[in-house]
Amino acid sequence: MNRLIDAVAAAALSLTFFVPGIAAAKPIAFAHGTTVMGEYGAGTMEELQVFYAPRYFYSVGGGHLALNSDIDGRSRDITYARFNYLVKRWNREGAQANVFAWGGAGNANVSESSGEQFTWNAGLQLDYETRRVYASLKSDLYESSAFSHRIDTLQLGFAPYEHEYDGVATWLVVQGRRYTGEIFDGTETAFLLRIFKGAIWVEAGATTDGKLQAMFMLNF
């Protein structure tokens, strides 16, 4: 299974670099734009983020991440401030690809000990999209003296039709996610329906375990 995930990740990366632009959730919307994102990740993670972009290539903001171990019930509540940076963007005719990186710091409450822990965070996202296909690979690392968790998420999407600017966009997305640090054992796979129109983006679906996976995003 791991080899399969690696192969799919490699394919997504190849797409990112060698095929022309994806409808991926991005931590930077546009200059002077605010992005609000919330995710419910199958009972294993919940996250809320707010970012403001003074320029098109960076945004600042913060978020809250709750991790609940599917293995032993341990939990982490992490509140952080973050800086997101657009490392590289390729705009092509009918396609766009991006490399984003971010870093941040905050505090975490850890279920197995009292008091707050200093936490730092770093991550990377590669995405590629056209009006019909999309791929995104995101890796998000949270470290403290009490824990180390990395969340790797791969998404591959397909649009049954090409949406117009003022129309409703519909995407069918398959998501694979892995956690390190004994949050979840193996790969969590989910099938999602993504819909967006105007400034509102929602996606919802279920994991192969039958758990809810959902996300919303607003850009304004």
Partner 1 sequence: MFKSIMLTGALLMAATIAQAGTIEMKVNGLVCGFCARGIEKTFHKNPAVTDVVVSLEDRLVAVQTKDGVDISDQELRATLTDAGYDIKSIERTDTPVAAIRDRLKSSAK
Q: Give the residues lining the site for partner 1 (CB under 8 A).
A: 21-23, 26, 28-33, 55-56, 89-96, 129-131, 162-167, 169, 196-199, 201, 217, 219
**Interior angle at CA 15, CA 12 and CA 19, nearest 5:** 165
- Using alpha carbons, select from 177, 171, 176 the residue that is nearest to residue 197: 171
Sole residue written with tokens 């670099």: 17
Least separation in angstroms between CB 27 and partner 1: 12
Alpha helices, DSSP H, located in the chain: 2-18
Q: Kindly tell me which of 72 and 93 has the beta carbon lying closer to partner 1.
A: 93
Identify the helix (H) or strand (E) that includes residue 167.
Answer: none
Task: Tokens for 93, please give them.
Answer: 């005719």
DSSP 8-class letter at 30: S
Q: Kindly tell me which of 15 and 108 has the beta carbon lying closer to partner 1.
A: 15
Sole residue written with tokens 């690979």: 137
Q: Kindly tell me which of 131 and 211 has the beta carbon lying closer to partner 1.
A: 131
Q: Kindly tell me which of 9 and 86 has the beta carbon lying closer to partner 1.
A: 86
Least separation in angstroms between CB 147 and partner 1: 34
Least separation in angstroms between CB 12 and partner 1: 17
Strands 58-68 and 33-41: unpaired
Determine the residue type at 56: Y
Q: Kindly tell me which of 128 and 142 has the beta carbon lying closer to partner 1.
A: 128
Q: Do 204 and 212 contact (CB within 8 A), yes or no?
A: yes
Least separation in angstroms between CB 15 and partner 1: 14
Least separation in angstroms between CB 139 and partner 1: 21
- Using alpha carbons, select from 157, 35, 40, 41 the residue that is nearest to residue 100: 35
Least separation in angstroms between CB 173 and partner 1: 14
Q: Kindly tell me which of 53 and 183 has the beta carbon lying closer to partner 1.
A: 53
